[in-house]
Structure 1
Amino acid sequence: MANVLSRSQRLTALRQLAGQTTPVLIVGGGINGISTFRELALQGIPAILVEKGDWCQAASGALSRMIHGGLRYLETGEFKLVKESVTERNRLLKNAPHYVFPLRTTVPIDSLGGGLISATRRFLRLSDAPARRGALLIKTGLSLYDIYTQQNGTMPKHQVCGKAATRRRWPGFAQWAKYSASYYDAWISAPERLGFELIEDAEQSCPQALALNYMEVIGSDGVSITLRDSLSGESFSLRPQVLVNAGGAWIDNLNQRLAPTTAKKLIGGTKGSHLIVDHSELLQMLDGEMVYFENQEGRVCIMFPWFGKVLIGSTDIRIDDPDAAICEQSEKNYILESLRFVFPQVVVPDSAILYSFCGVRPLPASDAKVNGQISRNHSLVLLPPAADHGWSTLCLVGGKWTTFRRFGEQAADRVLSLLGLGRTQSSAELAIGGGRDLPAPEAQDSWQRQLAAQHSTPLPRVTQLVQRYGSRALMLLDEIRQHGEQPLQYHAGYSDTELHFLIIHEQVCELEDLLVRRTSLAICGELTPALIEEISLLAAAPLGWSEHQRQQHLQQCCRQLARLHGLTGLYPTLFQEETRHVSNQ
Structure 2
Amino acid sequence: MTATSAAPTPESSAHCDVLIVGGGINGCGIARDLAGRGFRVLLCEKDDLASHTSSSSTKLIHGGLRYLEYYEFSLVRKALQEREVLLKSAPHIMWPLRFVMPHDPAQRPAWMIRIGLFMYDHLARREVLPASRGIDLREHVAGEPLKKEFERGFVYSDGWVDDARLVVLNAMDARERGAQVLTRTRCTGATRDADGWTVTLEGPQGVREVRARAVVNAAGPWAESFLRGVARPAAGEALATKSLRLVKGSHIVVPRLFTHDHAYIFQNPDKRIIFAIPYQESFTLIGTTDIEIDGDDPGAARIEQDEIDYLCAQASRYFDKPVTPSDVVWTYSGVRPLLDDASGDPSAVTRDYLLESNTSAAPLLSVWGGKITTFRKLAEDAADEVSRMLGEPRPAWTEGAFLAGGDLSPWIGKAERPDADFERFVDLLHVRYPWLGGTLGRRLARAYGTRVDRVLGDARFVSDLGAQVAPGLYEAELRYLQREEWALTGEDVLWRRSKLGLHLAPAAREQVERWMRSHAAAPNDNNDAPKEVQLAAQP
Between 1 and 2, higher relative CO (CA 8 Å, sep ≥ 6) is seen in 2
The answer to whether the Cα contact below 8 Å between 1:487 and 1:493 also exists between their aligned partners in 2 is no
In structure 2, the residue matched to 1:137 is: 112
In structure 1, the residue matched to 2:223 is: 251
In structure 1, the residue matched to 2:214 is: 242
Larger deviation, residues 438-447 vs 400-409: 438-447
TM-score (norm 1): 0.79
1:479 and 1:383, CA in 2 relative to 1: closer, same or farther beyond 3 A?
farther
Larger deviation, residues 461-470 vs 74-83: 461-470
Pairing partner for 2:183 from 206, 209, 213: 213
Work out the CA distance in 2 between the residues paired with 1:21 and 1:496.
Answer: 37
In structure 1, the residue matched to 2:528 is: none
1:191 and 1:445, CA in 2 relative to 1: closer, same or farther beyond 3 A?
closer
Please state how far the C-alpha of 1:479 moved relative to its aligned partner: 5.1
Pairing partner for 1:288 from 253, 261, 281: 261
In structure 1, the residue matched to 2:57 is: 63
Percentage identity across paired residues of the two chains: 30
- Counterpart residue type for residue 42 of structure 2: I
Please state how far the C-alpha of 1:505 moved relative to its aligned partner: 1.9
The answer to whether the Cα contact below 8 Å between 2:489 and 2:517 also exists between their aligned partners in 1 is no
Work out the CA distance in 1 between the residues paired with 2:64 and 2:276.
Answer: 16
Q: Given the alignment of the two structures, is residue 202 of structure 1 paired with residue 174 of structure 2, yes or no? A: yes
1:11-26 paired onto structure 2 within 5 Å: 18-26=12-20
Partner deviation per Cα, 1:92-144 (whole Å, 9 max, x = no partner): 11111001111110112222xx7xxxxxxxxxxxxxxxxx3221111111112
1:161-176 paired onto structure 2 within 5 Å: 161=135, 165=139, 169-174=142-147
Secondary structure, counterpart of 1:543 in structure 2:
coil
User: Unmatched 5+ residue regions in structure 2?
Assistant: 2-7, 413-420, 523-539
Please state how far the C-alpha of 1:499 moved relative to its aligned partner: 1.2
Secondary structure, counterpart of 2:496 in structure 1:
helix
In structure 1, the residue matched to 2:537 is: none
Secondary structure, counterpart of 2:181 in structure 1:
strand
1:42 and 1:80, CA in 2 relative to 1: closer, same or farther beyond 3 A?
same
In structure 2, the residue matched to 1:364 is: 339
1:84 and 1:275, CA in 2 relative to 1: closer, same or farther beyond 3 A?
same
Please state how far the C-alpha of 1:488 moved relative to its aligned partner: 2.2
1:128-527 paired onto structure 2 within 5 Å: 132-149=107-124, 151-161=125-135, 165=139, 169-174=142-147, 177-188=150-161, 190-205=162-177, 207=178, 209-223=179-193, 224-232=197-205, 234-257=206-229, 258-259=231-232, 261-279=238-256, 282-284=257-259, 287-307=260-280, 308-321=282-295, 322-343=298-319, 345-350=321-326, 352-385=327-360, 390-438=361-409, 439=412, 440-441=421-422, 443-444=424-425, 447-452=428-433, 461-478=440-457, 480-481=459-460, 484-488=464-468, 491-522=470-501, 525-527=502-504
1:445 and 1:194, CA in 2 relative to 1: closer, same or farther beyond 3 A?
closer
The answer to whether the Cα contact below 8 Å between 1:451 and 1:462 also exists between their aligned partners in 2 is no
Structure number with higher helix proportion: 1
TM-score (norm 2): 0.85
Work out the CA distance in 2 between the residues paired with 1:432 and 1:337.
Answer: 39
Please state how far the C-alpha of 1:22 moved relative to its aligned partner: 2.7
Pairing partner for 1:90 from 58, 62, 84: 84
- Counterpart residue type for residue 108 of structure 1: P
Please state how far the C-alpha of 1:29 moved relative to its aligned partner: 0.6
The answer to whether the Cα contact below 8 Å between 1:67 and 1:401 also exists between their aligned partners in 2 is yes
Secondary structure, counterpart of 1:403 in structure 2:
helix
Work out the CA distance in 1 between the residues paired with 2:302 and 2:458.
Answer: 39
Please state how far the C-alpha of 1:176 moved relative to its aligned partner: 5.9
Work out the CA distance in 1 between the residues paired with 2:166 and 2:142.
Answer: 34
The answer to whether the Cα contact below 8 Å between 2:103 and 2:110 also exists between their aligned partners in 1 is yes
1:479 and 1:348, CA in 2 relative to 1: closer, same or farther beyond 3 A?
farther
Partner deviation per Cα, 1:450-505 (whole Å, 9 max, x = no partner): 4227xx7567644442232111101112153599124525x331112211221222
Secondary structure, counterpart of 1:241 in structure 2:
strand
Work out the CA distance in 1 between the residues paired with 2:423 and 2:506.
Answer: 40
Please state how far the C-alpha of 1:520 moved relative to its aligned partner: 1.4
1:391 and 1:481, CA in 2 relative to 1: closer, same or farther beyond 3 A?
farther
1:164 and 1:442, CA in 2 relative to 1: closer, same or farther beyond 3 A?
closer
- Counterpart residue type for residue 468 of structure 2: L
Work out the CA distance in 1 between the residues paired with 2:446 and 2:190.
Answer: 44
- Counterpart residue type for residue 320 of structure 1: D
Please state how far the C-alpha of 1:325 moved relative to its aligned partner: 1.0
1:459 and 1:428, CA in 2 relative to 1: closer, same or farther beyond 3 A?
same
Please state how far the C-alpha of 1:425 moved relative to its aligned partner: 4.4
The answer to whether the Cα contact below 8 Å between 1:110 and 1:176 also exists between their aligned partners in 2 is no
Please state how far the C-alpha of 1:354 moved relative to its aligned partner: 1.6
- Counterpart residue type for residue 543 of structure 1: A
Please state how far the C-alpha of 1:331 moved relative to its aligned partner: 1.0
In structure 2, the residue matched to 1:578 is: none
Pairing partner for 1:29 from 23, 26, 29: 23
The answer to whether the Cα contact below 8 Å between 1:192 and 1:517 also exists between their aligned partners in 2 is yes
Work out the CA distance in 1 between the residues paired with 2:516 and 2:85.
Answer: 36
Please state how far the C-alpha of 1:17 moved relative to its aligned partner: 8.9
Work out the CA distance in 2 between the residues paired with 1:299 and 1:458.
Answer: 43
Pairing partner for 2:515 from 534, 538, 561: 538
- Counterpart residue type for residue 219 of structure 1: G
The answer to whether the Cα contact below 8 Å between 2:80 and 2:123 also exists between their aligned partners in 1 is yes
Partner deviation per Cα, 1:504-558 (whole Å, 9 max, x = no partner): 2211233321221112122xx223332123213322343159xxxxxxxxxxxxx
Please state how far the C-alpha of 1:316 moved relative to its aligned partner: 0.3
1:457 and 1:295, CA in 2 relative to 1: closer, same or farther beyond 3 A?
closer
Work out the CA distance in 2 between the residues paired with 1:313 and 1:442.
Answer: 28
Work out the CA distance in 1 between the residues paired with 2:378 and 2:262.
Answer: 29
Number of aligned residue pairs: 494
In structure 2, the residue matched to 1:121 is: none
Work out the CA distance in 1 between the residues paired with 2:424 and 2:146.
Answer: 38
The answer to whether the Cα contact below 8 Å between 1:110 and 1:178 also exists between their aligned partners in 2 is no
- Counterpart residue type for residue 500 of structure 1: R
- Counterpart residue type for residue 425 of structure 2: Q
The answer to whether the Cα contact below 8 Å between 1:270 and 1:317 also exists between their aligned partners in 2 is yes
Larger deviation, residues 257-266 vs 140-149: 257-266
Please state how far the C-alpha of 1:225 moved relative to its aligned partner: 3.8
Please state how far the C-alpha of 1:271 moved relative to its aligned partner: 0.6
Work out the CA distance in 1 between the residues paired with 2:356 and 2:284.
Answer: 38
Please state how far the C-alpha of 1:361 moved relative to its aligned partner: 0.5
In structure 1, the residue matched to 2:531 is: none
1:452 and 1:16, CA in 2 relative to 1: closer, same or farther beyond 3 A?
farther
In structure 1, the residue matched to 2:526 is: none
